[in-house]
Amino acid sequence: MSRRRRSLRGRIVATFLTYAFAVSLGFVGTGFVVAWVVEDAWLNQQIAEEIAHQQDHWRRHGRFAPPVFSHVSLHRSPAEFPADLARQVAARRDPQGEYAGVGGRHYHVLGFALPDGGGKAWAVAEVASRLVVRPLTGELLVLIAGSATFMLLAAGVLGYGLARRTTAPLTALARTVEEASVDRIPRLDDAASEDAEIAAVIGKVAELLEGTRGFVEREHRFTRDASHELRTPITVIRSSAELMATRGPLPSELSRPLQRIEQAARDMERTVDLLLLLAREEAAPSVAEAADLLPLVERVVLAESERIGAHHVAVSLAIPAARKARASTPVAEAIIRNLVANALVHGGGAPVAIRADAEKLEIADQGAGMSDEWLEDLGAGRAPQGRGIGLSIVLRLCRLQNLPLAFARRPGGGTLVEVGL
């Protein structure tokens, strides 16, 4: 299953928005912390001034002076605190700090020592009416949210513009490469981008495409030349052998080599046709060209048994008479021929079973089977080393014709091949 990929442009925009959102949160948090710290420092400074004034008055008169700040009250014991505050600090030995009261009240409590052995006292400041930041928290949040939204929109527009400008050459390159094919290889210009890194990527892709173009052109030229240069001498060899066979009985020391020459010429002709088919990478032909599967398999089994000398191997067929091959006759014959030959050669002389249903053709032998490494290579679409060109041809033909192909071990030993013919 292919992994879902996100666009580079979208990732750049998302990064800009995430960064702007994180910066906004950071500034909001920092702003609130600074405002609260400054506000508390201002209130504590007033309490400290009040305490200093009361200590000086106590030193001179032995009693408290009227408070300088109306919101500050002085107490010799926590029991004298306002009722809502006294309930909260009743169990505390040193009731200093900030406390929330009833009805929106908010207290700052600070203890201090009276001079000349006067003992301890507490300054209590009810600061609800003096707070600035807390009452405005809602309005500040609305203002900050609006500012953050504007920053996010600006970051989104800026990020989209930058992403569009940066990724435009890559987007065009991706679209061009996606639309390319073997028969239509585009030409790229690395001057399309002013960025050195992107220009380097485009230049390298252009270099690779030019190399591919040259390779395809050489492959096409070879295919055209091979179609004539290889077919002609093979046809001459085969027709000459057939002609010599019609001139009457030949000595036994000549007839057998002549038959081998004729058979080898036919094999070479089939191989050349198959290699040319693979070189051209032709598309799958119409179903109308497909042959009956049973006669095709019977013909291939007889021919391969004769060629390999495996007349002693028992081959069982279980193929419906009306079953059609799902590929053209040359392609189906090439696939079956190579798989049957592989089963006859590597089956150790044991019986080979060939059966077909509506979906696939199965070829099973009872030989030594394939190693894990070979099965892994075949599962990845690679022909294992040491198995010759046959399996490589089968893999390429099945891939070219979109035919399912699977290799597995038989439970009783040997190899089971399933192909969607």
CB 76 within 8 A of CB 119: yes
Q: How far is CA 310 from CA 154, 293, 335, 346, 413, in A?
A: 79, 22, 19, 11, 20
DSSP assignment of 11-52: HHHHHHHHHHHHHHHHHHHHHHHHHHHHHHHHHHHHHHHHHH
How do 415-419 and 405-409 pair as beta strands? antiparallel
Who wins on pLDDT, 40 or 349? 40
Q: What is the pLDDT of residues 313-323, one digit of tens each?
A: 788 888 888 88
Instruction: Give residue-wise pLDDT tens across range 162-213.
Output: 777 777 777 777 777 776 665 666 666 655 556 666 677 777 777 777 777 7
- Strand, coil or helix: 166: helix
The whole-angstrom distance between residue 147's C-alpha and the CA centroid of its chain comes to 37
Residue with the bigger pLDDT between 305 and 363: it is: 363
| Residue range 36-58: mean pLDDT, rounded | 88
Is 80 exceeded by the pLDDT of residue 340? yes
CB atoms within 10 A of CB 120: 11
Residue with tokens 């030193």: 59
Instruction: Give the number of C-alpha atoms closer than 13 A to the C-alpha of residue 98, restricted to the C-beta side.
Output: 10
Contact between residue 328 and residue 289 where contact means Cβ atoms under 8 Å apart: yes
Across 292-316, average pLDDT: 78
Tell me the per-residue pLDDT of 204-259, one tens digit each, with 9 for 90 and over: 777 777 777 777 777 767 766 766 677 777 777 777 777 777 766 767 667 777 77
Cα angle value 414/420/421 (rounded, 5°): 105
What pLDDT is attached to residue 52? 92
Among 99-113, 185-199, 400-414, name the one with the lowest average pLDDT.
185-199
